[in-house]
């Protein structure tokens, strides 16, 4: 793991604690200090465990993937690694939508449609979910977003969808070269101080379905959701494959 060498802002008070991360204010109003936790949750927090080392795995995996996207000319919030479980990111005003890109039928898409898990989609699809823990992050159609909840305009929805598909093309190729199939994944976006749409949150086995290309072995949080075991080993293998 390579840690950034630029001078760090001062870490200040806790801004927010989520299921997987702690966010701290810094002496630079444009930057946020992120600490990844060892907590594992599923089913809107109904299933919970602590996995030693998970925070370090996810911090470093996300840093590699976000850094690679930065190099590909895509805007992400990632600035630099601070330590094995900490990183520095840009402050964003988050859009309250989860953007899910699917390449292969799995999880809730299989349950909703009755299509067998593992069925390859003719082309990637994009879904939007309302980011609300109280409501269980429900799936939304475009009119729910634009007309009912007024979370985004139709133009912003299109911008989010196109950004998700562009990231999917880059990530799918990256993982394919490393013997991993990117089944689906969740993205969260925000606006920076200039109003630019920027990828935030994380890209990790918590937010992606990753299957070994040769064997189909699950290498993501489904190992925890479905009680498959060897969760830490799967996360460690993903970190090894991405080359942190």
β-partners of residue 191 are 93, 197
| Cα torsion 86, 87, 91, 97: sign | negative
- Strand duo 180-191 + 197-199: pairing: antiparallel
Query: Is residue 3 scored above 70 in pLDDT?
Result: no
Same domain, yes or no, for 226 and 148? yes
Does residue 65 sit in the same domain as residue 103? no
Residue 123's pLDDT is 98
User: Same domain, yes or no, for 139 and 19?
Assistant: no
Tell me, yes or no, whether 41 and 150 share the same domain: no
Same domain, 102 and 183: yes
Other beta carbons less than 10 A from residue 14's beta carbon = 12
Residue 44: per-residue pLDDT: 75
Range 4-32 average pLDDT: 92
Q: How far is CA 237 from the centre of its chain?
A: 18
pLDDT band at 5 (very low <50, low <70, confident <90, very high): low
For residues 44 and 23, which has the higher predicted lDDT (pLDDT)?
23
Q: How are the residues of the chain apportioned to helix, strand and coil, as percentages rounded to the nearest 5?
A: 30, 35, 35
Same domain, 77 and 107: no
Taking alpha carbons only, the member of 138, 190, 130 closest to residue 160 is: 190
**In a domain? residue 239:** no
Q: Cα angle at 96 between 195 and 107, to 5 degrees?
A: 130
Positive or negative, the Cα torsion across 233, 234, 239, 242? positive
75: domain CATH number is: 3.30.200.20
Summarize pLDDT for 29-74 with one digit per residue, the tens.
Answer: 999 999 999 999 988 778 899 999 999 999 999 999 999 999 999 9
196-218 burial by CB neighbour count: b if 16+ within 10 A, else e? ebbbbbbbbbbbbbbbeeeeeeb
Looking at the fold, whether 102 and 140 belong to one and the same domain comes out as yes
CA quadruple 159, 93, 21, 69: dihedral positive or negative? positive
Query: Smallest Cα–Cα separation from 127: which of 105, 148, 101, 149?
Result: 101
Where does the pLDDT of residue 7 fall: very low under 50, low under 70, confident under 90, or very high at 90 and above?
Answer: confident
Q: How many folded domains does the chain comprise?
A: 2
Mean pLDDT of the chain: 96
Same domain as 110, residue 73: no
Q: pLDDT tier at 244 (50, 70, 90 boundaries)?
A: low
Torsions phi, psi of 163, nearest 5? -65, -40
End-of-domain residue from the set 41, 66, 90: 90
DSSP assignment letter at 146: I
Domain holding 163, by residue range, is 93-230
pLDDT of residue 165: 98
Do 82 and 49 share a structural domain? Answer: yes
Please indicate, yes or no, whether residues 44 and 107 belong to a single structural domain of this protein.
no
């Amino acid at each position: 793991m390579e840690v950034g060498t630029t001078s760090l802002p001062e870490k200040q008070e806790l801004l927010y604690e989520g299921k997987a991360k702690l966010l701290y204010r810094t002496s630079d109003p444009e930057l946020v200090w992120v600490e990844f936790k060892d907590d594992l949750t599923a089913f809107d927090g109904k299933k919970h465990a602590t996995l030693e080392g998970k925070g370090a795995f996810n911090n470093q995996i996300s840093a590699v993937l976000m850094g690679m996207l930065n190099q590909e000319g895509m805007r992400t919030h990632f600035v630099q690694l601070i330590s094995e479980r900490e990183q520095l990111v840009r402050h964003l005003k988050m859009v309250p939508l989860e953007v899910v890109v699917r390449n292969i039928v799995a999880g809730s898409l299989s349950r909703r449609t009755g299509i067998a898990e593992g069925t390859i989609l003719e082309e990637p699809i994009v879904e939007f979910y309302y980011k609300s823990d109280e409501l269980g992050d429900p799936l939304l159609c475009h009119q729910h977003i634009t007309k009912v909840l007024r979370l985004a305009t139709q133009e912003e929805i299109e911008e989010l969808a196109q950004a998700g598909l562009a990231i999917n093309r880059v990530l799918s190729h990256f993982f394919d070269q490393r013997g991993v199939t990117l089944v689906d994944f969740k993205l969260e976006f925000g606006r920076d101080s200039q109003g630019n749409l920027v990828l935030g949150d994380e890209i990790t086995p918590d937010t992606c379905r990753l299957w070994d290309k040769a064997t189909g072995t699950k290498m993501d949080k489904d190992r925890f959701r479905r009680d498959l075991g060897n969760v830490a080993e799967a996360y460690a293998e993903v970190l090894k494959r991405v080359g942190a």
